[in-house]
Amino acid sequence: MRRESATRFLFPAVWIAASAVAQQSQWQQLAASALPSADGAVTYDSLRDRVVMIATSQPFASPYWSEHWEFDGLVWSQSMLPAALASRAHARTAFDSRRGRLVLFGGIEVPSVQVFLPQDTWILEAGTWQQVAGPRMRFGHGLVYDEARDRVVLVGGQAVLGFHMGTIDETWEFDGATWSMRSPMPQQRAFAGVAYDAGRARTVVYGGHFISGGGPYPLYDALEWDGATWQPLPATGPSPVLEGVSLCHDRERGRCLLYGTVPLSASREVWEYDGVAWSRDPVAPPPSSLGITSMVYDRQRGRLVGVERIFSNGPVVWSRSLPGLAVAQPYGLACGAPPMRSVVDPGARPLLGANLGVDIEGVPNGAAFMCFGWSNRQALGLTLPMVMDGFGLPGCWLLQSDDAITLPCAMTGPTTARFTLPIPSAASFAGLRFFLQPWGPAPGHNLGGGVVGDAVAVTLGSF
């Protein structure tokens, strides 16, 4: 089947029947039913397309507790935590997208400096929690995953120092098995805004506070970690300065977004850092009462998700996306040796009236095909994502439905291919969402005789 006939099949019958979902330009409140009255650490799981929250009790409210909640874009659901974590509060989490697992570290059990938890790290992988050794316990630290260097980066925090509690300047990195201490931060700090800038491969830190004598004392500087050294950001930061901050990275627009409160006021602002300069976000912050305490980037939808802490009625969840934004984000885990990976051509994004281009690496046996699907939740009555070990494809994941499974890709080299998909020039398709996952025949590689790549979440847009 030629490429033209394969792609044309999609548009007349299936695409026209689909209903586009318009993106919103302002912050919108999302469902938050059944959530506990709690604070929480929020992380985005790009393998399963979930916002993960480890909800915890109010600060310094005994007894301490934690709960594991996940948001799939429509509803919240609760999962079980190990007994050792159920009484721990104020841990931090990061998602290791290379291995598809959640890493949890830190926290406290009771509001007393005498009863901090053991030095441990918890890893959630394929629904199972495992415990490994870690640095000394702390809270108020930052935890992010550095995709370029394949490291979880831990910065700062508050810990027991002798007979008192103080801030620390430590930098640690976790390679998936062991922790190692790296160069210290220029300043002790806790409760800073911390995010990983995927475009520049930097861990960015803003603000926080340090404890000295009668402290704590607020900090309003910004710095970044490149894996070897800490450096102050070359740009002047937000003015006025911000406190109680949350920081995340908008991958589509290549900006770090900082949310915070102007000191001695109830005014809240959002600022952007593009790697060169800070600027105030033109979109007004959400009308929250206590402010957003955690903010993450939903890679598959190209939107920000913020959780506002309201203790009386549980958290309120907000989202913000840009109307007409074309999104094409790889997600999930690939199998094969080397893995069969998807790389979206930045010059061929899913724009209306243009062609989407996806380059595929690690193609086995000189042939590659693309699977097209409308869902990353269900396929043939099965819940996604799903490990395909039972189908003779160990280590491979089914990440989407298989509405069209054999769309051919053009080989561009012995182990590389390209998939091109023409996008209709129709305004009604703006916001339409679908998924692509490459695969290739590989006789003898496994019982199933094939390998499956990671997937690409696509949202059609006009820019």
Evaluate whether 335 touches 451 at the Cβ level (below 8 Å): yes
Does the structure show a pLDDT above 50 at 23?
no
Q: Are the beta carbons of 108 and 190 closer than 8 angstroms?
A: no
Kindly report, as residue ranges, where domains of CATH 2.120.10.80 are found in the chain. Answer: 28-321
> Starting at the edge strand that comes first in sequence, how are the strands of the sheet with 202-206 ordered?
193-197, 202-206, 222-225, 230-232
Residue 296 β-bridge partners: 305
Classify domain 3-19+326-459 at the CATH class level: mainly beta
Domain(s) of CATH 2.60.40: residues in the chain: 3-19+326-459
Instruction: With a cut of 50, say whether residue 161 has pLDDT above it.
Output: yes
Phi/psi of residue 196, each to 5°?
Answer: -100, 120
Mean per-residue pLDDT, 264-274: 91
For residues 197-222, one letter each, b for 16 or more C-beta atoms within 10 angstroms of the residue's C-beta and e for the rest, the string is: bbeeebbbbbbbbbbeeeebebbbbb
Cα-based angle 58, 76, 120 (whole degrees, multiple of 5): 55
- Cis status, amide bond into 63, omega within 30 of 0: yes
Whether the model pTM is above 0.85: yes
Are residues 307 and 444 in contact, defined by beta-carbon separation less than 8 angstroms? no
DSSP state of 263: T
Q: What distance in Å separates the CA atoms of residue 61 and residue 394, rounded to the nearest whole number?
A: 46
Q: What is the pLDDT of residue 252?
A: 84
The pLDDT tens digits of the residues spanning 24-67 come to 467 888 866 666 656 678 999 999 999 999 988 765 566 778 88
Task: Assign domain 28-321 one CATH number from 2.60.120.560, 2.60.40.1120, 2.120.10.80, 3.20.20.140.
Answer: 2.120.10.80
Q: What does the block give as tokens for 271?
A: 């600022």
